[in-house]
Structure 1
């Protein structure tokens, strides 16, 4: 039989259930043991009727009762069984101590009933191990009966344990099977992982092989492309030759002409770099060179025909430029392509022929056009007789300059429509052509300057030419770098292609300034330094002296104040006092005319010369004449008054000279 401790070890109970189990056990322990068995009424009656009695002891009847369903669960509790067994053992000990011999069962009383085994003096005998109630005379019989009861109860308890153990064994078997399945699955997964690693390695090898094959393919594609390009270069020869030898005069106007020329240049460069590698490289190089020369010759012939057709237009002014500009739309790209490839002597000669034809055509139209227009301008201004000579000459010169500037700008723009002007050689050709056109302007203006003697006209011409000339770079600022000075110099050399115009205008301006300085010096000698007093001057001097004496003017400041307020004088007195000595007036006029028309140093020299000559004439001739004329006048004055008037006259005119010079 399993002990309580072994039972607790085999079937442990959680700590949370122990308080409830202990409470249930205490409550069950207070019940009578007969409550654990509920024999059915029918079974009891049947047993009473059928059970035989032997020697006053009831045979072991078959236990027809059944456990109380409400208490069936309590029987399975090991602790409750142990407590019940302990209680029964205590009862047995008490029974043995009370009487060594049990009396036979009598109606309604037994030793067990006296001991409280029977419930409250019940007359029913206790059940035997077999469920049959019998009489027990000795403690041995009781113990035997109790042992059978205990075995029966233990058997019931062991059945549940065995059933539970069987269930556990079944679960263990299932778990063993599951563990076996898990082992098989783990083994299968290990095999799959090994297969996966092997597949990964094989995939990496395939990828590496594919990458290697891809690089080889790219290299082969590149080699194939290079071979195709090389073969294409050689295949260009046939279509290019066919195009360049096509019949008709409009080959250059074909849209494929310039691309074919570019391909010819590319083929020549390609074959020259690989002439030793190809079998027929020299032959192909020669044929492509022939195609190149053929194309340039076709451009030349096409340009010559175009220039000849343009030269046949009978038009004037802007109409001609319109025709040339329209022709430059299609001809310009061809001529610039010719310029770009004119590197050898033969090719440069072809370009030179085209440019000479262009300039010859333009020169044939431009020269008579310029000459006619310059003559028309001069005739138009000379016809205006009512205008002063100065305005007529300066106006004609201004119109000439404007016309020639427009001509140079138009010719430069037109040339750039046909050709490039980036190289020095091209710029030199255009400059030579424009110089020839400006020569006509120089031939028209220079005689006008040489034959002109009027200082005012020369000053006006000089001022007009300075307006149209290129200003020299400022030399007052020395803080600029050499690079900036070089850039300014380059910009000054060519502004909108008018360098030829500025060069001729500068040359004419230099001649004009030389002529103006020479005529200014002549004017100084004739009208300032060597001036002789005329009778009208004598009369004006006498009036001036008498008015000053009458108004008691003895100080130049007083005279200046009166001249500043002429309303305080009589009109005739104011007119007399405003008279200026003619050399002084001439000096002031000359300085005003040449102001800004000469170089600064030349102008300063001329002004100093005029000033010196005017002072000498004023002090040597004018003041002495005033003193002498005052004495010889109709109203004689004293010597002191005469000297005072001479001093006043000289001081007043010197102040006028200084005011003009300052």
Structure 2
């Protein structure tokens, strides 16, 4: 059997219960001391503890009143361990307080206060009022000890009872809270039901409102359609009164164009509802008559305005000022007519008549003005007697081009003040400007055809190139042919007609220049014949070279390094160049940039080839013969060297001439 001291180890007690156990042990110690040292009769009038100890006869009653939870706690091992510990403490205290407890006599121990057999059988036991009293048998002792233990257990369970009472209070409170929660849950359920009912009612109201809104919109559309129909038919009276108002300035009324727009809108409206409306055909005819009346008024007003502007043209001054002033009032009418000209045949015919009247009015003034101005420019340059022919011809062409460019630009801007840009209008303007540029072509082309001077033709070509439209060259990647065609067809500030005529005149001039350049090559380069002046110049050149040969024979093979003591006349003589070579250099300088690249390259190559052939066949042979027949004759080898030097010097001059 395990030692009783191991109970604490086998049944450990938590830290929270140790204070209560210590208090219980203290109470048991004091109670055991009273029980052993001062035996007395304990009445039922004492405390609950005395009642539990003395009321042996009342044990069943007391046991019946114990809490079942306390009986369970007594049956637990931990409470049994504590009960055994209390018993041991009680025994120790009893032995320490009573001297009647003696060691064992004749091999038996005395229990003393415990009421067991003592060492002396003759010693009388304690009375009932003492410790043992009537406890003469172990059964009585155990019964008495049971009552003591129950009383002790009741004292030990006081804390548990208090805690249980507190738990019962908490249970009661929780029950009350659960009741409140049930009430709240019932209230929320009722509120949710009310909310669902309100949502259903709201949905019904919304559906009803949507239905009413749809009906209202339908009624509004019907009312709008009815009002629109009534409004369209009500337009007829005011429009008719406006178009038949007396006077010639009905078109200048601010309500004229809005009335025309309303007329066309009414025609479209009635045409879409011919079968739905009563008397629709009658109203359609009346509105069509109003439209024709408006178009006729616009045409008459425009013709009348152009006629009045033609009267200003006859007077001359400030022509463009009057036209631009008239365009402020007439332009909106003509643009409105032009917009309608793409929709119906009648409006298009009216627009064509108005544009023809405009171009006729401008042409009647512009042609005499251009002819007179071109003649005046030519006369001004011919009057400059001090200037050379090249300067007079080139100056006249430059002024003609500038004048015609200004005329085309001004006419294009003036047309834009009256009309919008469209295909038909642009074609009419182009025809009008082409007729004006014909006068320029008739004035310039004879000047080019009858010109024979290469320098003058080169100057004319360069001037025309200045005023010609720049197009992508063949050597550059200018894109597709379609892009080039689009660029050619694009009207830049209305100068298409001007550029077209300038391009034709430029082609004629370049052809004429190339032809005259070839004639010049044949006459003055390839077929050049030495003149007496050339013979004298060659003789001087030979004499200087021979003199230099006497001073420094090595210099006879080159003219790049000349003596420092050479006189200016000798230096000038040595720089003399063979005339065909000089003519080749002059021709190349004249045509540089005046012809197409390929044509110019061909002319330059032809001039250089002809110059070289003339130099080698005529010039070098003549120098050799002149060197041998000079006053200081030289050997034939030296003469050949002189001819070679002459040819080399002139060939270098050809190669360093201006090239394309």
Q: What SS class does the counterpart of residue 248 from structure 1 fall into?
A: coil
Matched, 1:458 2:454: no
Superposition pairs for residues 39-50 of structure 1, below 5 Å? none
Distance in 1 separating the partners of 2:284 and 2:563 = 98
How much is the aligned-residue C-alpha RMSD, in angstroms? 4.0
CA contact (8 A) 2:510 2:595 kept: yes
CA contact (8 A) 1:338 1:351 kept: yes
Distance in 1 separating the partners of 2:598 and 2:199 = 98
Distance in 2 separating the partners of 1:496 and 1:459 = 29
Structure 1 equivalent of residue 413 of structure 2: 413
Matched, 1:571 2:568: yes
CA contact (8 A) 1:554 1:645 kept: no
**Distance apart, 1:414 and its partner CA:** 0.9
Tell me: CA distance 1:427–1:609, structure 2 relative to 1, closer, same or farther (3 Å): same
Long gaps (5+) in structure 2: 1-19, 28-43, 57-128, 130-175
Distance in 2 separating the partners of 1:183 and 1:409 = 98
**Distance apart, 1:568 and its partner CA:** 5.4
Structure 2 equivalent of residue 240 of structure 1: 239
CA contact (8 A) 2:557 2:641 kept: no
Tell me: CA distance 1:461–1:194, structure 2 relative to 1, closer, same or farther (3 Å): closer
**Distance apart, 1:308 and its partner CA:** 1.4
**Distance apart, 1:500 and its partner CA:** 0.3
Structure 2 equivalent of residue 304 of structure 1: 303
**Distance apart, 1:312 and its partner CA:** 1.5
Structure 1 equivalent of residue 72 of structure 2: none
CA contact (8 A) 1:455 1:520 kept: yes
Structure 2 equivalent of residue 621 of structure 1: 618
**Distance apart, 1:300 and its partner CA:** 0.9
Structure 1 equivalent of residue 582 of structure 2: 585
Distance in 1 separating the partners of 2:649 and 2:317 = 61
**Distance apart, 1:537 and its partner CA:** 0.9
**Distance apart, 1:576 and its partner CA:** 0.6
Paired residue for 2:482, among 477, 482, 486? Answer: 486
Structure 1 equivalent of residue 327 of structure 2: 328
**Distance apart, 1:193 and its partner CA:** 7.0
Structure 1 equivalent of residue 505 of structure 2: 508
Count of residue pairs brought into register by the alignment? 515
**Distance apart, 1:212 and its partner CA:** 1.1
**Distance apart, 1:408 and its partner CA:** 0.4
Structure 1 equivalent of residue 159 of structure 2: none
Tell me: CA distance 1:546–1:185, structure 2 relative to 1, closer, same or farther (3 Å): closer
Structure 1 equivalent of residue 169 of structure 2: none
CA contact (8 A) 2:437 2:498 kept: yes
CA contact (8 A) 2:408 2:498 kept: yes
For residues 544-601 of structure 1, give each alpha carbon's deviation from its aligned partner in whole angstroms, at most 9, with x where no partner exists.
0111111128889953414xx6865211110111111111111110111011111222
CA contact (8 A) 1:459 1:594 kept: yes
Structure 2 equivalent of residue 96 of structure 1: none
Superposition pairs for residues 23-102 of structure 1, below 5 Å? none
**Distance apart, 1:227 and its partner CA:** 2.9
Structure 2 equivalent of residue 636 of structure 1: 633
Tell me: CA distance 1:488–1:274, structure 2 relative to 1, closer, same or farther (3 Å): farther
Superposition pairs for residues 142-541 of structure 1, below 5 Å? 197-313=196-312, 319-342=318-341, 343-423=343-423, 425-478=424-477, 480=479, 482=480, 485-493=481-489, 494-541=491-538
CA contact (8 A) 1:555 1:648 kept: no
CA contact (8 A) 2:589 2:658 kept: no
Distance in 2 separating the partners of 1:457 and 1:353 = 47
Distance in 2 separating the partners of 1:461 and 1:557 = 45
Distance in 2 separating the partners of 1:591 and 1:625 = 26
Long gaps (5+) in structure 1: 1-17, 26-77, 91-114, 116-175
Tell me: CA distance 1:609–1:318, structure 2 relative to 1, closer, same or farther (3 Å): farther
Tell me: CA distance 1:182–1:466, structure 2 relative to 1, closer, same or farther (3 Å): closer
Distance in 2 separating the partners of 1:358 and 1:231 = 41
Q: What SS class does the counterpart of residue 312 from structure 1 fall into?
A: helix
Which deviates more from structure 2 when the two are superposed, residues 513-522 or residues 270-279? 270-279
Tell me: CA distance 1:582–1:79, structure 2 relative to 1, closer, same or farther (3 Å): farther
Distance in 2 separating the partners of 1:261 and 1:239 = 11
**Distance apart, 1:301 and its partner CA:** 1.0
Paired residue for 2:539, among 530, 538, 542? Answer: 542
Superposition pairs for residues 100-139 of structure 1, below 5 Å? none
Q: Give the ranges of 4+ consecutive aligned residues of structure 1 lying more than 4 Å apart after TM superposition.
A: 78-90, 181-200, 314-318, 553-558, 565-568
Tell me: CA distance 1:529–1:223, structure 2 relative to 1, closer, same or farther (3 Å): same
CA contact (8 A) 1:325 1:417 kept: yes
Q: What SS class does the counterpart of residue 428 from structure 2 fall into?
A: helix
**Distance apart, 1:266 and its partner CA:** 2.1
**Distance apart, 1:265 and its partner CA:** 2.2
Distance in 2 separating the partners of 1:566 and 1:222 = 112
CA contact (8 A) 2:478 2:484 kept: no
Tell me: CA distance 1:82–1:463, structure 2 relative to 1, closer, same or farther (3 Å): same
CA contact (8 A) 2:394 2:460 kept: yes
Structure 2 equivalent of residue 600 of structure 1: 597
**Distance apart, 1:612 and its partner CA:** 2.5
**Distance apart, 1:358 and its partner CA:** 0.6
Tell me: CA distance 1:81–1:201, structure 2 relative to 1, closer, same or farther (3 Å): farther
CA contact (8 A) 1:627 1:642 kept: yes
Structure 2 equivalent of residue 137 of structure 1: none
Which deviates more from structure 2 when the two are superposed, residues 233-242 or residues 412-421? 233-242
CA contact (8 A) 1:527 1:586 kept: yes
**Distance apart, 1:503 and its partner CA:** 0.5
Which deviates more from structure 2 when the two are superposed, residues 307-316 or residues 360-369? 307-316
Distance in 2 separating the partners of 1:604 and 1:185 = 111
